[in-house]
Amino acid sequence: MRTLHTQPTWLDLSQPTHARLSNLAADLGLHDLLLEDLVTAHQRPKVERHGEWLFVVIHTARYLDVQEEVVFGELHVLTRSDKVVTISRGDTRAITAARKRLADDPELAGFGAEAILYAILDAAVDQYSPVVRGIAHDLEQIELQVFSGDEQASRRTWDLTGEVGDFGRAAGPLRDVTEALAAGFDKYQVPEALRAYLRDVDDHLTGVIDSIDKLRGRLRDIFTLNATLLGQRQFEELRTLAAAGQQENEAMKKISAWAAIIFAPSIIGGIYGMNFDYMPELHWQYGYPFALGLMVAATLALWALFKRKRWI
């Protein structure tokens, strides 16, 4: 086991320019491939060794509750026994928290560059927990919206699914980083205190990843529930429309039936009311009662027909 008594120098850069990184690489004698990694943003969390340098990419996360959005930052950490370089793009809270942790714990800080790396990892993972709580809180609100029939629930669920997916892609690969660091414990003679510290970080990270999986499951359940409830509401609306259509159809049947019944005597009366000179029935002795009887008969026949068809 070894303990470092000399503190490494810690150079912290925030949003450095390409020229600044090129100068840094020249000063430190970094390989061109390592410089390319330092310049390139939006990399997956990873750990690599370039000669005497250990290069680690870490994603930070912060949840904006009002916007329901996870904002990510990216940290590049370069370490060797006597020097640490951190490059921040976006959120710098993990660097601030790591500095405070090391200042409050001189024993941990005494382990040198590795302690700085582990403190940064710990601070970044600690920031994941508020993100999980924020998303979980919004999911509870969405569940209430789903049951209340709020149309905005579907859009919020879809948007939050994307945020959880991005969060998983930031936190999940970090597990490979902690496992790779743990695999080098014996080779690089990492002190037991630091091993325990990294295992604790890994435990917290495992809990976060499990929580993300549960959030994904809840989102799937909300999608399914929302689709089911929407289907039920649409079915009820169709039933209501069908019932209304049936009622309207029944009303139209009655109107049509009575219109036909009224039309029959009207047409008979209209024919015999034309007063042409050469209409035999006009001078027939029984013409008037015949016309009235024909009207009654036609009316009763149509009434019976529509009654049998249940139109009236």
- At residue 226, what is the residue type? N
Task: Give the span between the Cα atoms of 64 and 83, in whole angstroms.
Answer: 35
- Please name the residue ranges forming H helices in the chain: 18-28, 32-39, 93-104, 106-109, 113-126, 128-148, 152-171, 174-183, 192-272, 287-308
- On the CB side of 179, how many CA atoms lie within 13 Å of its CA? 7
Return the pLDDT at 2: 44
Grade residue 174 by pLDDT with cuts at 50, 70 and 90. Answer: very high
> Around Cβ 131, how many Cβ atoms within 10 Å?
26
> Around Cβ 245, how many Cβ atoms within 10 Å?
10
Percent of the chain with pLDDT over 70: 93
> pLDDT at residue 282 above 70?
no
The distance of Cα 219 from the centroid of its chain, to the nearest Å, equals 7
Neighbouring residues of 20: CB distance < 8 A, sequence distance ≥ 6: 13
Percent of the chain with pLDDT over 90: 50
> pLDDT at residue 244 above 80?
no
Q: What is the pLDDT of residues 56-93, one digit of tens each?
A: 999 999 999 989 999 999 999 999 989 999 999 988 99
- Using only C-alpha atoms, the chain has a radius of gyration, in whole angstroms, of 41
Return the pLDDT at 77: 96
Nearest alpha-carbon partner for 224 in 123, 307, 110, 146: 146
Return the pLDDT at 15: 92
* Alpha-carbon distance values, 230 to 123, 150, 153, 221, 238 (Å): 43, 10, 11, 14, 12
> pLDDT at residue 191 above 80?
yes
> pLDDT at residue 283 above 70?
no
Work out the angle between the directed axes of helices 174-183 and 152-171 (0-180°, nearest 10): 20
Residue matched to tokens 């470092």: 4
- In degrees to the nearest 10, what's the CA dihedral of 196, 202, 205, 211? -100
Q: What is the pLDDT of residues 195-230, one digit of tens each?
A: 999 999 999 999 999 999 999 999 999 988 888 877
> pLDDT at residue 249 above 80?
no
- In degrees to the nearest 10, what's the CA dihedral of 48, 174, 180, 88? 40
Predicted TM-score (pTM) of this structure: 0.74
> pLDDT at residue 279 above 70?
no
Residue matched to tokens 């068809």: 309
Q: What is the layout of strands, in order, in the sheet containing 69-80? A: 9-14, 83-89, 69-80, 53-64, 46-50
Grade residue 187 by pLDDT with cuts at 50, 70 and 90. Answer: confident
Q: How far apart are the first and last CA of the chain?
A: 101
Burial of 248 (0-12, 13-18, 19+ CB in 10 A): exposed
Architecture (CATH level 2) of domain 9-234? 2-Layer Sandwich (3.30)
Q: Average pLDDT over the chain, rounded to whole?
A: 86
Return the pLDDT at 179: 93
Task: Give the span between the Cα atoms of 156 and 145, in whole angstroms.
Answer: 10
Q: What is the pLDDT of residues 108-160, one digit of tens each?
A: 889 999 999 999 999 999 999 999 999 999 999 998 988 888 878 888 999 99
